[in-house]
Structure 1
Amino acid sequence: MTPGGTPEPGGTTAPDAPEDRSPHAQAVVSSHELATAAGTEILEAGGTAADAAVAVAAVLSVVEPFYSSVLGGGTWGLYYDADPDEVTSLDGVGPVGSAATLDDYRPRAGDFGMHQAILPGAWDGWMLWLEEYGELELGEVLAPAIAVAREGYPVSSEMTYWLTLEEANIRQSPVMTDLYIRDGDLLDTGDTVYQRDMADTFEDLVAAYDGAADRSTGIQAARDHFYRGPVAEAVVAFSEQNGGYLTLEDFSSFSAQIVEPISIDYGEDVTVYQNPPNSQGITMLQALNILQNDDFSGRSPDDPDVVHLQVEAIKLAFADRHAHVGDPERTDVPVDELLSDEYARSQRARIDMDRAARWPIDSGLDRQASDTTTFHVTDRSGNAAAVTTSLGGQFLVVGDTGIHINERMSFMSLDEGNVNAVAPGATVRHTSAPFMALRAGRPYLLGGNTGIDTQTQGQLQQFMCVVEFGMTPQQAVAQPRFVSTAFPASNHPYEADNTLQVEPAFPEAAVQELRRRGHDVTVGAGIVGTANMLAVDADGTEARLGVEPRNETADGTVLPGPSSR
C-alpha cells in the first residue's frame, strides 16, 4: 500500500491524488505503426485507454505473430483508472494443461510443438478490461485488426528475421506454409502477409458479441465462444492430435483476474507499480529499492560505477526470483519481505563495488521454497494502460483458426523442487512485466522492454535514465543497454552464462573498467529486446514518447490537444 491511500478490492489507491483533474493528453506508443494507428483511431472515436489497448493488442497479433497474440498468448497489464483513482493489475495468464506431467514433458522440453502451449489466457483478460474499463463495442475495437488481417500488411525486417529463424518449423505445417511461404520461398521484406483465418476468428467473436442483448452479455458471449465454444473445441482437438496437454475443462474453468499490483515508493513523490507474482516484475522493484539510496548526481548512465551497481542489484533480484518467485497458489512468495526497505539495505551491503558477483548467487532470504511485445496508452480522461503481452517465440498455428499459440511451457523448470516446476494446473512464472510510475498521484511513466529476462533489466535502466539522469523518454529508450545473464535463464535450457552483454555503442572505456571488476563483458547487437516508453507531464496535459529506434516498425502518436468528446 502506498502512503496516504486506502487499498480497494483489486487495486491500490494512488497516494494523495489531487481532486481537480485537467483534460489529459492522449497518446499511444507500440512496436508497430499499424497497431499505433489502431489505438489512435479508437481514442479519436471516444474510446478509453482500455478500448485502445485491446485494439493495439489485436493488431499486434496480426502484424507480430512471432511476439504476441490476443488469441493464443498470455498478458500482464497495469491500468490506472482515473475514477476511482486506482492502479490495478491484469493477470491474463493461463495454467499448464491438466493432462501435463513432468515425466512426459521432460524429454520433449527442447522440442517444437503443441506440448509447449499452456492455456491461452489473454483473450479473457482483454474481455475483462473491456468489461471493467471500456466503453466501445467489440466490433469497433477489433475492426482495425480484422481489416489488417484480411487486407494484408508488408513483411518487416523483424518478421523476416523470425521467418528465417523458424523456417524449419514453418515448413512442418501446411497451414504455416500457406501463410509464410510463397512459390516455395519464405516471404521476404516488403512482401504482403494475409492472416485471413485469424480475421475469420475475430469476426466470429464479434458475431457472438453482436448476438447478445447488451454490451455486458455480449462480452460474456465472446468469452464463451472462445473458452466454452468453437475456439476451445478447435484448440483442444489440435492439442490432442499433436501431443499437447490442454482439455476442454481447462478452458471452461479458466478466468482472468484483476488483481492488486505490487509497488515501492521511489524518492519522495514517485510510486512504481509492477505486476505481482507469478509475473517476474518484482525483480525491477527489488533492484530499484536496492539502488534508491545511492547518490547518482553528476553521473551518467554509462558511468562504470552506475552500470556496476545496476548489474549487481539485478543479479541479487534475479537470485531471489530463482529461489522464491513462482505460482502464488502453490508456493509462498515472500513479497513483503523482498520489497522491504530493511531487506533492500541488506542487499545493497552485499554489493562489492570492485568485484562482480557470479552465479551461483544465494538469495538474501533464508527460506525454503519467445518473445514479447509492449505498448502504452493514455486517454482523454486521464486513464492509462501499460501492457506487456507475449506468446513466446513459436510459429505454431492451430488448424484453420489463425491462432498462433504460445510456448510458455518452455519457461518452466524441470526440477521438481523448483518453485516454477512443471505441474498440471500450475501457472508459469511469466516474464512479461510492464511498469507504471505515478508522481504525486498522477500517471508519470509507462514503460516496458521485451526479451525474456531482459525485460525488467531494460525497464530499470530506462526508469533510471529519466528519473535519475534527466533524459527524455526517447533518449532513455535509445541509450545503449546492457543485460546480465548471471542467473538461470527463464527458458529452456535454463543456463546461467555469467556474462554481461552490452551493445556496440557502449563506451569502450566503460567496457574495459567493467572487465577489470570481473564482469565477463560481451559486445554485440540484438541482445537487448525492444522498448517503448510514455511520459506524462505533471498536470497530465502533455505526453512525451520513447519509440524504439532499434525496431523499424515502432511508432507512437500524441493526439493534438485533449479530445472534445
Structure 2
Amino acid sequence: MALSTLPARAAARIWLAGAVLPLALGAQEPAAARAPRAAVDAPKGMVVSASAIASQAGRDVLANGGNAIDAAIATGFALAVTYPTAGNIGGGGFMVVRFPDGKTTTIDFREKAPARATPEMFTDSTGAYSSRIHHNSHKSVGVPGTVAGFAHAHQKYGKVSWAKLVDPAVKLAGDGFAVPSGLAASLKGAQTRLSAYPATIAAYYKDGQPYAEGEKLVLGDLAKTLTRVRDQGRDGFYKGTTAKLIAEEMASHGGLINEADLAAYQPAERAAVKGTYRGYEIISMPPPSSGGTAMIEMLNILEGYDLKSLGHNSPQYVHYLAESMRRAFRDRALFLGDPDFTKPPLEKLMSKAYATELRSTITKDKASPSAPADVAQGYESDETTHYSVVDKDGMAVSVTYTLEAGYGLGAVVNGAGFLLNNEMGDFNGKPGLTDSTGLVGTKPNIAQPGKRMLSSMTPMILAKDGKLVAVVGSPGGRTIINTVMEVVLNLIDFQMPVQDAVNAPRLHHQWLPNVITMERNGTLPETVKALEAMGHTVRLGGNQGTAHSIFVNAKGVRQGAADPRDRDAGAIGH
C-alpha cells in the first residue's frame, strides 16, 4: 500500500520507523549501539524535536494545512508538556525563519531582567558574589518570553488559528500521556533536586515517586494555564490569573518579577546575521544570542584551511577547530550582549578580513595560550532544546528555547503547573569579577532592568543558490555553537548524509577553561596523544548536544535526523 493512502497517523509512524529513539539525559552507550539506521524521509513536511510526541503535534499541523511557523508553535507548546527539562512556557529562546522566497527574519523571545534588577543583585549581604542567588533562587528567574514570542510569530506569519495550535498541548496535559523512557529516567535522576519544591513534586511525581515508563502523566494545573493561553492568547499568560499566580510565587520566595514586568514583556523581531562558507549561506540568530556571530567568525577562519584533506577529527583538524573556537569565544565574552543596551561590533567580528587576521595568529602545530587576564567565561547550562521544521512550500523554522538548567529553577508555579526558568544566571555574576574558575565580569552582559541576558543558542538555517539546504540547532550551553558548526562542517566539507553528520563525534573549546573536550565515543587514543604533543589539554567526556536537524536533498525530499543522543526524540514527516 502506498504511504499516501494510509491514515495520517499510520503514515507518520512509518516515517518515524527509520529512527531509533535515543539516549536519556546523561546516559552513555557505544556509538554503534545508538546510531539510527537512516534519516527519516518525507516528501512534504518534516518536524524533528527532542520529543516524538511533540514532533507528532507539529507534523499534524503541517498535514492539516499549517505552515512551518504554525507547526513550530504547536511543537513548542507540546514540548512544554512532554519535555519539561527544557520545553517551556516559563522560559524563552529564539526563532530563525527562512521564507520560501529566501527572505529571512528572527524572533527574539529571550527572557528579560525584571524592573528591579541591578548589576549587584547576585551578591549577599556582605557584597560577596553568591552562586546560590545567581542560579538557584527566585532572583534567578527572568521574565518569561516563550508565549509572547509564539504569539508574535503567529500574528505576523501563521495561517492556522491560535487555538488549534495550543489545543494539542492542552489535551496532552489534561488527558495525560504515556511517559516515555527518557522522561522517566530524567525525572528519576532529578528527584533529589526537585524535592526542594513541593509544587514540583506534586505535579511531576506520583505519590512522591517517579513515574515508570508507560505510566500516564496528567498535568492538570498546566492544562488550565494552557487553556487560558489557548482562549485568551498572550494575555492568558501575561495578565489575569496566570500573571497573578507568577507574581504570588515570586513574592513568597524573594523573587523580583511582578505583574507589571509580565504585562510589559515584548519579544523583538530582528534581522538575521548572515555569512557565507564555501558558497553556502549561513543564516542565524543575532545578539543577544552569541551563537550566530561566533559561528560565522569560526567558519570564516576555517574557510582558509582544506579541512577535508586533513581527515575528519584528525589531530590537525581538531587543532584548527579548537584554535578557531578559542578566538571566537574570547570575542564573545569581550563584545557580545543585548544589542538594546550595547553596540557589539558585528560587522568586524563576522568579516572575512578579521578572520584572515585571526588565522594568521594560529600556529600549525602548537596550541595557543588562554588566560583569565584576557577574559573568562561564565556558567551556562547544557539543558536547552532545539527543534527544526520545514513545510511543503519550503518555509524553514529553527527554534532553540530553554529554561536554563534542567527543569530551570526546579520550581513549579503553585497553581499554574509550569516550571520557572533560572535564566538570570546567564548574566555575569558581578561587575569586574573575572577569574579562572569561569566567572566573568565584562560590561556587555551585566544585569540591568529590562535587559536580555547573553545566550549561546544557535538556531541556524543553511541555503545555497537560493535554495533551502538544512535546518540545524542544538542544546548544550556554550557547546551549542560548536555543535552546530560541526554539523555544518560535516555536511559541507565532508558531504556526510545528514544522519551521519548528526551522529559524528564532537568536540568543544571555549577559551577558558583552556581544555578541548571530546566525546569519549569515537575519539581515538592516538588523536589525544597527538593533540597533547601540540600543547593542548584534552578531556574526554559524554554526549555533546542533540542536533535535531533537517536536510533537503536535490530532489526536494525532507530528511529528518533525530539525534541519537536524545532517547525520546523523533523525526516525523508527511
TM-score scaled by structure 2?
A: 0.84
**Is 2:122 the counterpart of 1:119?**
no
Aligned pair partner of 1:272 in 243, 259, 282: 282
Aligned pair partner of 1:536 in 552, 559, 574: 552
Q: Is the 8 A contact 1:531 1:547 kept in 2?
A: yes
Match for residue 489 of structure 2? Answer: 464
The one-letter amino acid paired with 1:276 is P
Match for residue 464 of structure 2? Answer: 439
* Whole-Å separation in 1 of the counterparts to 2:259 and 2:309: 59
Q: Is the 8 A contact 1:476 1:546 kept in 2?
A: no
**Is 2:438 the counterpart of 1:402?**
no
Deviation at 1:143, TM superposition (A): 2.2
* Whole-Å separation in 1 of the counterparts to 2:45 and 2:208: 45
What RMSD, in angstroms, separates the aligned Cα atoms of the two structures?
A: 2.0
* Whole-Å separation in 2 of the counterparts to 1:155 and 1:362: 48
Q: Report the CA distance shift for 1:361/1:472 in structure 2 as closer, same or farther (over 3 A).
A: farther
Deviation at 1:485, TM superposition (A): 4.3
> Which stretch shifts more, 23-32 or 278-287?
23-32
* Whole-Å separation in 1 of the counterparts to 2:351 and 2:510: 25
Q: Is the 8 A contact 2:50 2:568 kept in 1?
A: yes
The one-letter amino acid paired with 1:399 is N
* Equivalences for residues 320-331 of structure 1 within 5 A: 320-331=331-342
Deviation at 1:399, TM superposition (A): 1.1
* Equivalences for residues 40-59 of structure 1 within 5 A: 40-59=59-78
**Is 2:124 the counterpart of 1:109?**
no
* Whole-Å separation in 2 of the counterparts to 1:338 and 1:24: 39
Q: Is the 8 A contact 1:500 1:519 kept in 2?
A: no
Aligned pair partner of 2:272 in 261, 279, 290: 261
Deviation at 1:151, TM superposition (A): 2.4
Deviation at 1:546, TM superposition (A): 1.9
* Whole-Å separation in 2 of the counterparts to 1:24 and 1:90: 28
**Is 2:93 the counterpart of 1:75?**
yes
**Is 2:520 the counterpart of 1:503?**
yes
* Whole-Å separation in 2 of the counterparts to 1:520 and 1:54: 42
Match for residue 480 of structure 2? Answer: 455
**Is 2:370 the counterpart of 1:373?**
no
* Whole-Å separation in 1 of the counterparts to 2:199 and 2:234: 25
Q: Is the 8 A contact 1:99 1:247 kept in 2?
A: no
The one-letter amino acid paired with 2:486 is Q
Q: Which runs of 5+ in 2 are unaligned?
A: 1-41, 125-129, 376-380, 433-441
Q: Report the CA distance shift for 1:184/1:131 in structure 2 as closer, same or farther (over 3 A).
A: closer
Q: Is the 8 A contact 1:197 1:401 kept in 2?
A: yes
* Whole-Å separation in 2 of the counterparts to 1:116 and 1:46: 40
Match for residue 455 of structure 2? Answer: 430
Aligned pair partner of 1:149 in 170, 173, 177: 173
* Whole-Å separation in 1 of the counterparts to 2:199 and 2:206: 12
Deviation at 1:319, TM superposition (A): 0.4
* Whole-Å separation in 2 of the counterparts to 1:382 and 1:499: 38
Aligned pair partner of 1:252 in 255, 263, 271: 263
* Whole-Å separation in 2 of the counterparts to 1:94 and 1:524: 30
Deviation at 1:373, TM superposition (A): 0.6
Aligned pair partner of 2:206 in 169, 182, 188: 182
Deviation at 1:59, TM superposition (A): 1.0
* Whole-Å separation in 2 of the counterparts to 1:110 and 1:162: 23
* Equivalences for residues 411-426 of structure 1 within 5 A: 411-417=426-432, 418=442, 419-426=444-451
Match for residue 24 of structure 2? Answer: none
Q: Is the 8 A contact 1:279 1:429 kept in 2?
A: yes
**Is 2:499 the counterpart of 1:483?**
no
Structure 2 residue matching 1:404: 3-state secondary structure? coil
Q: Is the 8 A contact 2:106 2:271 kept in 1?
A: yes
Q: Report the CA distance shift for 1:398/1:497 in structure 2 as closer, same or farther (over 3 A).
A: farther
Match for residue 17 of structure 1? Answer: none
* Whole-Å separation in 2 of the counterparts to 1:104 and 1:424: 11
* Whole-Å separation in 2 of the counterparts to 1:341 and 1:485: 21
Q: Is the 8 A contact 1:302 1:507 kept in 2?
A: no
Q: Is the 8 A contact 2:225 2:236 kept in 1?
A: no
* Equivalences for residues 283-298 of structure 1 within 5 A: 283-298=294-309
Equivalent pairs counted in the alignment come to 506
* Whole-Å separation in 2 of the counterparts to 1:336 and 1:363: 22
Q: Report the CA distance shift for 1:358/1:546 in structure 2 as closer, same or farther (over 3 A).
A: farther
* Whole-Å separation in 1 of the counterparts to 2:356 and 2:533: 26
> Percent of counterpart pairs with the same letter?
26
Deviation at 1:357, TM superposition (A): 2.5
TM-score scaled by structure 1?
A: 0.85
Aligned pair partner of 1:519 in 536, 543, 547: 536
Q: Report the CA distance shift for 1:498/1:509 in structure 2 as closer, same or farther (over 3 A).
A: closer
* Whole-Å separation in 2 of the counterparts to 1:192 and 1:240: 33
Structure 2 residue matching 1:398: 3-state secondary structure? coil
Aligned pair partner of 1:308 in 311, 319, 326: 319
Q: Is the 8 A contact 2:518 2:539 kept in 1?
A: yes
* Whole-Å separation in 2 of the counterparts to 1:94 and 1:31: 22
* Whole-Å separation in 2 of the counterparts to 1:362 and 1:39: 47
Deviation at 1:519, TM superposition (A): 1.9
Q: Which runs of 5+ in 1 are unaligned?
A: 1-22, 209-221, 365-369, 488-495, 560-565
